[in-house]
Structure 1
Amino acid sequence: MPLLRLGVSLQPRWPLDDGTAVLRAAGHAEDLGFDHVAIGNRLLDSGFGLDTDPLVLLAAVAGATTRLRLLTSVLVAPYYPALVLANQAATLDVVSGGRLVLGVGTGWNPDEFDAVGVPVRERGARTDDHLAAAKVLWAQRPADFDGPFTRLRAAHLGVPPVTPGGPPVWVGGRSDAALRRVLRFGDGWYGTGADAAEVTDVRRRLRELAADSEDADRLTLASAQFLTPPGIPAAAPAPGRPLGGAAPTAASVAHDLGRLTEAGLTACTVWLPTAAEHAEKAMEWIAAEVMPQLTGDGPPGTI
């Protein structure tokens, strides 16, 4: 059975008068043995969570840690011109020593699309264009590219990535268009709140949509999952079924993770809908109560 890499989202609303709190939490996650930390992408105030640029914040996390992988969960690709996206991601890949995983999606928030001047109806086409251009820029020097929104001639990206071909890309979404995007541009699929049956269904659909089943089988399957550990107050309701059910225990959380692993999930980001002051305690509960129940001889944070 493949190993499950367990990470944690750094999404609580960290205090503005202590800008290093999130960096301390990331260092604590590394000390506890998590595989990765994740940051989402919001441009406008959502009312809950850390509404920052994920590439900027993860660059700071890279400097505060040594081992953790750094996941954008997820970066809205249409917000970033292709050249900017490619250069920022390559920069973070370099300064982190190749620890970046670029989770991307098409986005959904009409207010943010209006604010950046991008028509929301173009989000899918722009995501395809930007990912295709970034892949060319990461792999070729000089790079030529002709797309509906990006044109490059003999372009030399400002900084080449240290990861050959660029950082791994995990593409979000469950529609057929999203899964085709995974196959065209991705190294993995990234879901949100997917249960074992949904992961199994995504695996099946990827194999059906792929020209060659081996192209689907090469992909990482990953998902964000929600969890409020017992005894820790939730700051917001989970947007989907939490790991372990409504009243989770260490055993029920480990059981759900085992089911996801059996279905083919190989990376799981635990999203904690807690206030910032409880985030480290929540991570400690997972490390102390859940991780010991997970089997495997892999690196820290793995089943």
Structure 2
Amino acid sequence: MTTFGSDDLGSGHDPASLLAFAIGRQLPFREFGTSVLCPGYHSLYAMARTVASLQSLSGNRLVVGLGSGMRPEVNRVFGLDDTERRRRTVEARDVLPGLLAGRGTGLPDDVTFYTPPMGEVPLLLASGDPQMFAGTDRTVVGWMSMLRSAKLIRETGEQLRQVTGRPLRCAMQVTLEPDVQQPMRPPTMVPTATVPALAVGTRLLPAVFVGYARAGVDRMLIHLPTDDNRWTRLHAIAAAARQARAELAGADVVPAARLAA
């Protein structure tokens, strides 16, 4: 399960606080994710404390996404132009793993980060730019993407493998609209107020999950805009995930339900 949206939504909700609330409810999820945290909005020391706290609360089930933020109007609130927001993300990419490992990298000599997390925290970079991954170690386990085709996922994954020398799997954020009324509706991109959504018939949904998993997606962060009071769409997603997992013979393609803000 991951929080709804990213740091740059400007919605007034703090992703870490929402995630801590969900963890405190003792929900039985295998992973808890931050979606995309933007280093330009936080000091690295504060980010490291937040991540360490969430990792401890979750019992080593945290996954952290880092990105620059895509909304210029929100970046302007924090005084960030394109150059500075990228610089802050690169700095976090290079410094945060050291902080979380308890090495204190990047801190003044008289400042100590006393409470590294109980276990290693996997990091995902919200970028498809190969240069953002150059020189990273295995702490960076993958990349994050908005909705894109399986072909583009596969091509980007290959480019990143050439730069890093290791396979990096994708965590894709999707606004999903399962069509219960037309269960054989082909996958279709539909416009929304924010980002495009993927509309697809419920009987074809397992094939969509399988196709993306084989292209390199191992985490799918799903935003479900609407549902009825019986959660018909959510149940359809869960059933499709189970069917896809069976077809993939154990591959990890279980979509993560998103905590609505």
Task: Give yes or no for the alignment of 1:255 onto 2:207.
Answer: yes
Q: Residues 279, 267 of structure 1: CA spacing in aligned structure 2 closer, same or farther, 3 A cutoff? A: farther
1:64 shift after superposition: 1.1
Task: Give the TM-score, by structure 2 length.
Answer: 0.80
Task: Give yes or no for the alignment of 1:163 onto 2:119.
Answer: yes
1:172 shift after superposition: 0.9
Q: Residues 286, 144 of structure 1: CA spacing in aligned structure 2 closer, same or farther, 3 A cutoff? A: closer
More off after superposition, 186-195 vs 155-164: 155-164
Task: Give yes or no for the alignment of 1:301 onto 2:254.
Answer: yes
1:54-92: CA deviation from partner (whole Å, max 9, x where unpaired): 111101111113432111221112111111111111111
Q: In the comparison of the two structures, how many residue pairs are matched?
A: 243
Q: What is the aligned partner in structure 2 of residue 205 from structure 1?
A: 159
Q: What is the aligned partner in structure 2 of residue 30 from structure 1?
A: none
More RCO (CA 8 Å, sep 6+): 1
Aligned CA-pair RMSD: 3.0
Task: Give yes or no for the alignment of 1:53 onto 2:14.
Answer: yes
Gapped regions of structure 1 (runs ≥ 5):
1-35, 146-150
Q: Residues 278, 187 of structure 1: CA spacing in aligned structure 2 closer, same or farther, 3 A cutoff? A: farther
Q: Residues 286, 238 of structure 1: CA spacing in aligned structure 2 closer, same or farther, 3 A cutoff? A: farther
Task: Give yes or no for the alignment of 1:221 onto 2:170.
Answer: yes
1:183 shift after superposition: 6.3
Preserved contact between residue 7 and residue 14 of structure 2 (Cα < 8 Å): yes
Q: Residues 181, 199 of structure 1: CA spacing in aligned structure 2 closer, same or farther, 3 A cutoff? A: farther
Q: 2:129 aligns with which of 147, 150, 175?
A: 175
Preserved contact between residue 106 and residue 124 of structure 1 (Cα < 8 Å): yes
Inter-partner Cα distance in structure 2 for 1:54 and 1:41: 7
Task: Give yes or no for the alignment of 1:188 onto 2:159.
Answer: no
Gapped regions of structure 2 (runs ≥ 5):
182-189, 256-261
1:239-266: CA deviation from partner (whole Å, max 9, x where unpaired): 2351xxx4x2223211111111111222
Task: Give the TM-score, by structure 1 length.
Answer: 0.70
Preserved contact between residue 60 and residue 118 of structure 2 (Cα < 8 Å): yes
Q: What is the aligned partner in structure 2 of residue 19 from structure 1?
A: none
Task: Give yes or no for the alignment of 1:67 onto 2:28.
Answer: yes
Preserved contact between residue 41 and residue 52 of structure 1 (Cα < 8 Å): no
1:140-186: CA deviation from partner (whole Å, max 9, x where unpaired): 35x242xxxxx43253224220113xx11111122333444866862
Preserved contact between residue 229 and residue 282 of structure 1 (Cα < 8 Å): yes
1:220-251: CA deviation from partner (whole Å, max 9, x where unpaired): 3221223112259x994672351xxx4x2223
Q: Residues 86, 102 of structure 1: CA spacing in aligned structure 2 closer, same or farther, 3 A cutoff? A: same
Give secondary structure in 2 for the equivalent of 1:194: coil
Give secondary structure in 2 for the equivalent of 1:267: strand
1:109 shift after superposition: 2.1
1:45 shift after superposition: 4.6
Preserved contact between residue 183 and residue 206 of structure 1 (Cα < 8 Å): no
Give secondary structure in 1 for the equivalent of 2:109: strand
1:106-149: CA deviation from partner (whole Å, max 9, x where unpaired): 112222222223444211111111232221111135x242xxxx
Q: What is the aligned partner in structure 2 of residue 86 from structure 1?
A: 48
1:208 shift after superposition: 2.2
Q: Residues 64, 55 of structure 1: CA spacing in aligned structure 2 closer, same or farther, 3 A cutoff? A: same
